[in-house]
């Protein structure tokens, strides 16, 4: 049965924690969907973990749409959220509206995510029927302004600003908010004050849901932040499989009769 934004609200009301994972291709989306992951985020982390950019800033709308289409073809039940990339909504509400519509109309997403307290845009999108997920705390698209990938909300001033922005995003119409790299007590405080779910990444256990980048979870990335837990050793598995293949090709044991046609 397809997951909707009302299901996420029901999860919070029942105090039922839920997972969100990133996906960027049809096969991964299908596997995660079959595993029961309720929310798939086509994140702008695509820039680094798939396309090889140094940050999320360079990834384009066309690249994001391309990969969102692939995820939409692979998943059947999960709620698919497309990440609005840098420069696709910051300049004007009109830009944001146009690009958000493209995620739903052209790529098959069910909702969009945007960073920061763009309240007018959230209101307009919600009124137009586009579900919006917010994102506060460490906002990677603003890394050049923030001075790097640093925990946000440690000072009283920063913490109060994040709390106010979270409440404002909820009032503007967001159906959920990602809290990234904020102190655990602050994330729990925000979670307790909102009626919509929070989804943490480096925000402690007090959020309603948790999200990780799939390549980090699978142990494919070389370096990961402190908040990442590796659930598999994908790098070693791939290296071992490739090494065995090389060896069997060299010694002539692959392909054998079992893997040949007659």
* 5-231 CATH: 3.20.20.60
pLDDT tens track, the chain, 262 positions: 899 999 999 999 999 999 999 999 999 999 999 999 999 999 999 999 999 999 999 999 999 999 999 999 999 999 999 999 999 999 999 999 999 999 999 999 999 999 999 999 999 999 999 999 999 999 988 877 766 778 999 999 999 999 999 999 999 999 999 999 999 999 999 999 999 999 999 999 999 999 999 999 999 999 888 999 999 999 999 999 999 999 999 999 999 999 999 9
For the chain, which residues make up each domain, given as ranges?
5-231, 233-262
pLDDT in tens, 73-128: 999 999 999 999 999 999 999 999 999 999 999 999 999 999 999 999 999 999 99
**What b/e string do you get for 26-36 counting C-beta neighbours within 10 Å, with b at 16 or more?**
bebbbebbeee
Q: What's the burial of 246, exposed, middle or buried (CB within 10 Å: 0-12/13-18/19+)? A: exposed
Q: How far apart are CA 56 and CA 168, in angstroms?
A: 25
Residues in the chain: 262
> Phi and psi (nearest 5°) for 41?
-105, 120
* CA dihedral sign, ordered 51, 52, 56, 57: negative
Ramachandran region of residue 3, left (φ > 0), alpha (ψ -120 to 50) or beta?
beta
- Pull the structure tokens for residue 140: 């990677």
Tell me the catalytic residues.
Answer: 180
- Contact between 80 and 71 under an 8 Å Cβ cutoff? The reply is yes
- Pull the structure tokens for residue 211: 């999200």
pTM of the model: 0.96
Neighbours of 71 (CB within 10 A): 28
């Amino acid at each position: 049965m397809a997951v909707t934004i009302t299901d996420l609200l029901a999860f919070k009301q029942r105090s039922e924690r839920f997972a969100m994972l990133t996906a960027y291709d049809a096969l991964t989306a299908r596997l995660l969907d079959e595993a029961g992951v309720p929310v798939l985020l086509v994140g702008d982390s695509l820039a680094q973990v798939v396309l090889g950019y140094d940050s999320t800033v360079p990834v384009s709308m066309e690249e994001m749409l391309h990969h969102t289409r692939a995820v939409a073809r692979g998943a059947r039940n999960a709620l698919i959220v497309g990440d609005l990339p840098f420069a696709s909504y910051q300049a004007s509400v009109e830009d944001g509206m146009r690009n958000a519509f493209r995620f739903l109309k052209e790529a098959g997403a069910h909702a969009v995510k945007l960073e920061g307290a763009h309240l007018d845009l959230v209101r307009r999108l919600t009124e137009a029927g586009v579900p919006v997920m917010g994102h506060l705390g460490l906002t990677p698209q603003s890394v050049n302004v923030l001075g790097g990938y640093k925990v946000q909300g440690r000072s009283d001033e920063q913490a109060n600003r994040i709390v106010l922005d979270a409440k404002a995003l909820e009032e503007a119409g967001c159906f959920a908010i990602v809290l990234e790299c904020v102190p655990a007590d602050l994330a729990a405080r925000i979670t307790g004050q909102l009626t919509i779910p929070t989804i943490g990444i480096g925000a402690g256990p007090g959020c309603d849901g948790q999200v990780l980048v799939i390549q980090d979870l699978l142990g494919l990335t070389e370096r990961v932040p402190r908040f990442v837990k590796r659930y598999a050793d994908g790098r070693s598995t791939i290296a071992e499989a490739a090494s065995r293949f090389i060896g069997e090709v060299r010694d002539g044991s692959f392909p054998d009769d079992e893997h040949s046609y007659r």
